[in-house]
Structure 1
Amino acid sequence: MAVSFLPCLILIVSLFSAIDAHSGMIGVNYGRIANNLPSPEKVVNLLKSQGINRIKIFDTDKNVLTALANSRIKVIVALPNELLSSAASHQSFADNWIKTHIMSYFPATEIEAIAVGNEVFVDPKNTPYLVSAMKNIHTSLVKYNLDKAIKISSPIALSALANSYPPSSGSFKPDLIEPVIKPMLALLQQTSSFLMVNAYPFFAYAANADKISLDYALFKQNAGNIDSGTGLKYNSLFDAQIDAVYAALSAVGFKGVKVMVTETGWPSVGDENEIGASESTAAAYNGGLVKRVLTGKGTPLRPKEPLNVYLFALFNENQKPGPTSERNYGMFYPNEGKVYDVPFSRVRSTPVNGNRDHVPVTHEGHTWCVSNGEVAKEKLQEALDYACGEGGADCRPIQPGATCYHPESLEAHASYAFNSYYQKNSRRVGTCYFGGAAHVVTQPPRYGKCEFPTGH
């Protein structure tokens, strides 16, 4: 079966858009409230080595933004809460902030969004300034022709909800709705942006461990919960929390605004009263969440909306105040060693030749990308065409007469092309998905005598 290429560039581009739209996205929060962290340059190398290509920071630190230049890592930056009143009161302040903290680095540093404040409603004195600050920052982006490339939003905590259980009863606190929630959502809708949400199932579990199953909180197999309002079944507390936000959006007339989870995580250490905090539970939560996101599936209430999530956090931060858990959300120690392992891709342990009786040999650290034989041939062919065309995969070995032309099958040819694309893109998160037509394996693919390269 010879490889066919889509003849029209428009079709290729639209296929890429469809693939991207149907994939969930994983990023990581890079907090720096610590005195022992590696340099930003080392952090960028760490991110690349882990295939992490999206991060969120809590300011516009010069050293961090400079280190990210030309790294192809996309970043969300923040205007801190203490600057909200100035940004709200003076358009000139917003203009100067954009020129100094955004334009000085963009586009070499791929800033894709600005978080205006963070969990602003937690401190009522900042709440009145939020919407005006967001509007002035957006006006500045428009003034400097950056509004199409850079979105604005503001992360809200789940404490902004008056009700969250069952998910269908989700609603915002009444005192926030008219003065701030509705005008903020109107701005997000107008600018085609998304609502940033910080969601922590750990807090709900720790406070209600006698009522909430730990397996339900950790994405493990469980009996699930039925929403009495919709009849929908929930198998994870995370999904239930996000759907409570969607229900709250619908209740105030903004059903069309999308949600991005800008913080979620689980601590590896906690105080005695912080039930559930441990390395094993942190690994289970974050690992389960990554697998959940990379399925491309949405929540029960929004099944067609892929989840976009930023894990909290990259490092343990030794200077954060509060309970022990606050200093132990990191996936990495400051020396760059892993606190626990989170695979940033979906991994299958069985050999790809289908021999399930064979006990595979572990190839530590090596991963490959192969086709999913369960998808329709048309979808597999479209993904193959994209990989070999616009995707830039090296498909010469699967041309007639070349080394990997045999076996002459769509599945074998697609696997070779997908793996070439995956390795070329440094095995980054989401580069082995192709709208569900591919997945990651930890054993070398076996198709005849063809050898599949690895980036290691």
Structure 2
Amino acid sequence: MAVSFLPYFLIPSFFSAISLTQADSGMIGVNYGRIANNLPSPENVVNLLKSQGINRIKIFDTDHTVLASLANSGIKVVVALPNELLSSAASDQSFADNWVQANITKHFPATEIEAIAVGNEVFVDPSNTTPYLVPAMKNIHSSLVKFNLDESIKISSPIALSSLANSYPPSSGRFKPDLVEPVIKPMLDLLRQTSSYLMVNAYPFFAYSANADKISLDYALFRENAGNVDPGTGLRYNSLFDAQIDAVFAAMSAVGFGGVKVMVTETGWPSAGDENEIGASESNAAAYNGGLVKRVLTGNGTPLRPRDPLNVYLFALFNENQKPGPTSERNYGLFYPSEGKVYDVPFVAGEVRSTPVNGDGAQFPVAHEGQSWCVSNGNAGKEKLQAALDYACGEGGADCRPIQPGATCYHPESLEAHASFAFNSYYQKNARRVGTCYFGGAAHVVTQPPRYGECEFPTGFS
């Protein structure tokens, strides 16, 4: 089929809606911490994220350079109002309004801010900011309402597992009594009213390192193990992570808020540590994060909440050389500041595998598991993208009618968007087999529907 395209003189830098998610499972994002003096520029970080298929990040502030770099990138971001601003946000609605206007409305919607973390692990903040938390959350939400952003942007606040008085077995999970009435119940009530979720920071590494004589390393690292049965529910747990999250669910149910969902805003495993930090190693970090990604993308929830997909942010993107504390604190990164991988974590469910056909022993790559799509690689360059697009729409037999002028997917009028549609058409036509989304490096597989304007990308083998 002969297809003509208008010439592209300017190529937008970031149009790929790259994702780590699988359609009917959970979501994986990454925390982008910046307590270091040797990190790449935010612009380079955005390119790194896109190259690795990461479309959700969480930052610990509202740094304007970072947020500006994320504009029009297709990467969703969770931002934060720091603990030191909680008192002002709680006591003064105009302060909250001004903060939202200066830090959120200035960037949204070009930068896809999807949530605000109001404070971080406030209950263990030595500055005793706990009394300000819920009032600050309410004022920030009122500001979002004022600017018509409340439907687009959620509010929450990450809590540490130390907020629980008891977490084992999971069914006995309970919040610390002194937190329940003053802050837990009001916060959960606000989250329920606003259809938001409780943000939880969960680190099985800490539990394992402190109890290595009692906790199996395989149980902590998502490896095959006999598991543990909760005597309260009869549910079997094969990972410490699942047990920790279900302890939070049990604690919420115990105070009457069992319907509130949970998002894990921090979890990870250090690749190095001090001598007394048992289990901190590169191989264990690779096993934990790799096992967690597979667990999230192929699983359907925890034993207690099997129908609730797990949504998780790994900690962290980079090793941060200026973080205080033990050695482990500076070694949670998936990447070195040079952008090289500390270890490899496969971010897409469904690995390349082969199966015999026709009974003659011949092998060919099977289709990617689960729903998936093929999109363009924005770093491939104009010439490579154009050549691949021409092939897909020509010899490749992709259905490129929707990206012709005046058709449903012509807008946005960019080479990346049009190439993504054509690549995906070719990929789906070829039953999503491994190798049919490559185009010489101009394309890659994602596991969440791409978003280019109002255009819908088909899936299926037709």
Same fold (TM over 0.5): yes
- Mapping for residues 3-82 of structure 1, pairs under 5 Å: 22-82=24-84
Q: 2:302 aligns with which of 299, 304, 310?
A: 299
Question: Does structure 1 residue 313 correspond to structure 2 residue 320?
Answer: no
For the Cα contact (< 8 Å) 1:349–1:360, is it kept in 2?
no
Q: Which amino acid aligns with 2:432?
A: S
Distance 2:76 2:357 in 1: 38
Q: Which amino acid aligns with 2:367?
A: V
Distance 1:130 1:57 in 2: 19
TM-score by length of 1: 0.78
Aligned in 2, Cα 1:358/1:64: closer, same or farther, shift over 3 Å?
farther
Tell me the residue number matched to 1:227. Answer: 230
Q: Which amino acid aligns with 1:143?
A: K
Aligned in 2, Cα 1:91/1:284: closer, same or farther, shift over 3 Å?
same
Give the deviation of 1:351 after TM superposition: 1.3
For the Cα contact (< 8 Å) 2:368–2:434, is it kept in 1?
no
Question: Does structure 1 residue 93 correspond to structure 2 residue 95?
Answer: yes
For the Cα contact (< 8 Å) 1:394–1:417, is it kept in 2?
no
Q: Which moved more, 1:238-247 or 1:347-356?
A: 347-356
- Mapping for residues 337-352 of structure 1, pairs under 5 Å: 337-352=340-355
Aligned in 2, Cα 1:246/1:397: closer, same or farther, shift over 3 Å?
same
Distance 2:284 2:359 in 1: 30
Question: Does structure 1 residue 427 correspond to structure 2 residue 440?
Answer: no
For the Cα contact (< 8 Å) 1:398–1:413, is it kept in 2?
no
Q: Which amino acid aligns with 2:180?
A: I
Q: Which runs of 5+ in 2 are unaligned?
A: 1-20, 375-391, 400-427, 451-458
Aligned in 2, Cα 1:425/1:29: closer, same or farther, shift over 3 Å?
farther
1:339-364: CA deviation from partner (whole Å, max 9, x where unpaired): 10011012434315558996979xxx
1:2-22: CA deviation from partner (whole Å, max 9, x where unpaired): xxxxxxxxxxxxxxxxx9762
Distance 1:280 1:357 in 2: 39
- Mapping for residues 285-296 of structure 1, pairs under 5 Å: 285-296=288-299
Aligned in 2, Cα 1:421/1:279: closer, same or farther, shift over 3 Å?
closer
Q: Which runs of 5+ in 1 are unaligned?
A: 1-18, 362-367, 376-382, 388-392, 400-410, 439-446, 448-456
For the Cα contact (< 8 Å) 1:371–1:418, is it kept in 2?
no
SS of the aligned residue for 2:265 comes to strand
Aligned in 2, Cα 1:275/1:92: closer, same or farther, shift over 3 Å?
same
Aligned in 2, Cα 1:213/1:57: closer, same or farther, shift over 3 Å?
same
Aligned in 2, Cα 1:430/1:266: closer, same or farther, shift over 3 Å?
farther
For the Cα contact (< 8 Å) 1:116–1:154, is it kept in 2?
yes
- Mapping for residues 236-251 of structure 1, pairs under 5 Å: 236-251=239-254
Q: Which amino acid aligns with 2:265?
A: T
Tell me the residue number matched to 1:143. Answer: 146
For the Cα contact (< 8 Å) 1:398–1:416, is it kept in 2?
no
TM-score by length of 2: 0.77
Give the deviation of 1:415 after TM superposition: 2.7
Aligned in 2, Cα 1:122/1:291: closer, same or farther, shift over 3 Å?
same
Distance 1:355 1:292 in 2: 33
1:126-150: CA deviation from partner (whole Å, max 9, x where unpaired): 0000000000000000000000000
Tell me the residue number matched to 2:14. Answer: none
Tell me the residue number matched to 1:370. Answer: 367
Tell me the residue number matched to 1:154. Answer: 157
Q: Percent of counterpart pairs with the same letter?
A: 74
Give the deviation of 1:267 after TM superposition: 0.2
Distance 1:201 1:211 in 2: 13
Distance 1:37 1:417 in 2: 34
Q: 2:171 aligns with which of 164, 168, 171?
A: 168
Aligned in 2, Cα 1:286/1:87: closer, same or farther, shift over 3 Å?
same
For the Cα contact (< 8 Å) 1:243–1:300, is it kept in 2?
yes
For the Cα contact (< 8 Å) 2:351–2:368, is it kept in 1?
no
For the Cα contact (< 8 Å) 1:44–1:67, is it kept in 2?
yes
CA RMSD across the alignment: 3.2
Give the deviation of 1:428 after TM superposition: 3.5
Tell me the residue number matched to 1:397. Answer: 397
For the Cα contact (< 8 Å) 1:156–1:198, is it kept in 2?
yes
1:201-256: CA deviation from partner (whole Å, max 9, x where unpaired): 00000000000000000000001000010010000000000000000010000011
1:281-322: CA deviation from partner (whole Å, max 9, x where unpaired): 000000000000001410000000010000000000000000
For the Cα contact (< 8 Å) 2:134–2:187, is it kept in 1?
yes
SS of the aligned residue for 1:427 comes to strand
Q: Which amino acid aligns with 2:151?
A: K
Q: Which amino acid aligns with 1:44?
A: V
Distance 1:298 1:394 in 2: 40
Distance 1:157 1:359 in 2: 52
Tell me the residue number matched to 1:390. Answer: none
